[in-house]
Amino acid sequence: MTKKGLPKYVYYDRGYYRFIRRSRGQSVMMKEEPGTPEFWDHYNLLLKGRAPIPAKRTFETLILSYFESQAYKKLKPRTKADYRKYIGHIRTIWGTKDPAKIETHHIYELHRANAERWRQANYLVQVMVVLMNHARLIGFIKKEHGNPAKGIPLFKQESNGWEPWPKDVRAEFEAIATPRARLVYELCLGTGQRIGDVLKMKWEHVRDGHWDFTQGKGDKPMWIPFTDRLKSFLATVEKKGLTVITDTAGRPVQYRTVAEEMRKVKAKMQHPDAALYVTHGLRKNATIELYLAGCDDEMVKAVTGHSGVEMLKKYGGPIRQRELATRAQNARNRFEQNRKET
């Protein structure tokens, strides 16, 4: 954010000009170009504590209004970044259009136009649901018209998500990994958590062989005992900073830094498919190992933090079904044996 050349309380922030006056709790986007009459009209109104009512109902004004809403401000930083990316696309194609004139078939066509990238296409629809709901709240569309983005069938994922790492890939990675890449690997595998949460792990949250933290996705409080393997590995790790994973100076590291390091390690591996296995796949490894150890769904969720059985089906896959079926049939056999004995 820069202040040079702008009037008091005005800053340039990620593609927009913003009026910020903390003493009044004001933080307002300004779409006018600084120095123009429209800019000064808006600026003077903000100095008086009022924001102008949009002259036209467009996606541009809808988006600016949404960015000022409490619903947006309460989002996690990562979610905000994702929303800005996809909202930016909507702003580019529909910025001057009236939201009230957008119908379900328009959003359906937008979804289909991005079919080659199914995840992005689905996210565009999800963001449109949010925007059109905000449009209803501020009176841009009538309540009785409903949300035109709801009910659009999303593309289904063609596979079961990221693949778990096979034994030969794991063995080679463990043999050649850099110390930090190996630490990331062991933490993701041992705790079953997402890389984002692992990178935020602090030594102060590690006590008596367990990790006490709150998951970034869903704000779920978690208490996870370490496996014996992870305990032994962490005993060899030098405490350089507040976080467990750091740079050489002991400072926390960003996701992109670690992701690039993991990619470089896999690029040096002899296994022809090493690059196909991503760090998030280790969460799937942890889930499968829990099922192989005889854990039921609730026990697995207690470690991984998955919110529902549907995600466990995706992560546990056939292993989950096999282990649960084996336990069920064993219980049936015991029941039959007990009945014969009586």
pLDDT tens digits along 26-48: 778 888 888 888 888 888 888 87
Instruction: Give the closest residue to 25 by CA, choosing from 61, 53, 51.
Output: 51
DSSP 8-class letter at 272: T
Which of 10-14, 106-110, 154-158 shows the lowest mean pLDDT across its residues? 154-158
Whether 206 has a pLDDT exceeding 60, the answer reads yes
Query: What's the pTM?
Result: 0.64
Bridge partners of 243, per DSSP, are 202
Equal CATH topology for 56-158 and 167-328: no
DSSP 8-class letter at 102: -
Lookup: tokens for 192: 């079953």
Whether 300 has a pLDDT exceeding 50, the answer reads yes
Q: How far apart are CA 120 and CA 132, in angstroms?
A: 18
Q: Which of the listed CATH numbers 1.10.443.10, 2.130.10.10, 1.10.760.10, 1.10.630.10 matches domain 167-328? A: 1.10.443.10
Residues 210-222, mean pLDDT to the nearest whole number? 88
The Cα angle at residue 135 between residues 130 and 136, in degrees rounded to 5: 100
DSSP 8-class letter at 53: P
Residues 123-152, mean pLDDT to the nearest whole number? 91
Q: Which ranges of the chain would DSSP assign to H, the alpha helix? A: 37-47, 59-67, 70-73, 77-94, 104-113, 118-137, 167-176, 179-191, 195-199, 228-234, 255-267, 281-292, 297-304, 309-341
Helix, coil or strand: residue 18? strand
Residues 275-288, mean pLDDT to the nearest whole number? 94
Architecture of domain 56-158: Orthogonal Bundle (1.10)
Higher-confidence residue of 175 and 340: namely: 175
Lookup: tokens for 271: 């296994």
pLDDT value at residue 216:
85
Lookup: tokens for 302: 């207690």
What is the band of 53 on the pLDDT scale with cuts at 50, 70, 90?
Answer: very low
Instruction: Give the closest residue to 145 by CA, choosing from 84, 93, 98.
Output: 98
Q: How far apart are CA 228 and CA 221, in angstroms?
A: 22
What is the band of 121 on the pLDDT scale with cuts at 50, 70, 90?
Answer: very high
**Per-domain boundaries in the chain:** 1-52, 56-158, 167-328
pLDDT value at residue 156:
80
pLDDT value at residue 21:
81
What is the band of 16 on the pLDDT scale with cuts at 50, 70, 90?
Answer: confident
For the chain, give the percent of residues with pLDDT over 90.
Answer: 58
Q: How far apart are CA 283 and CA 162, in angstroms?
A: 9
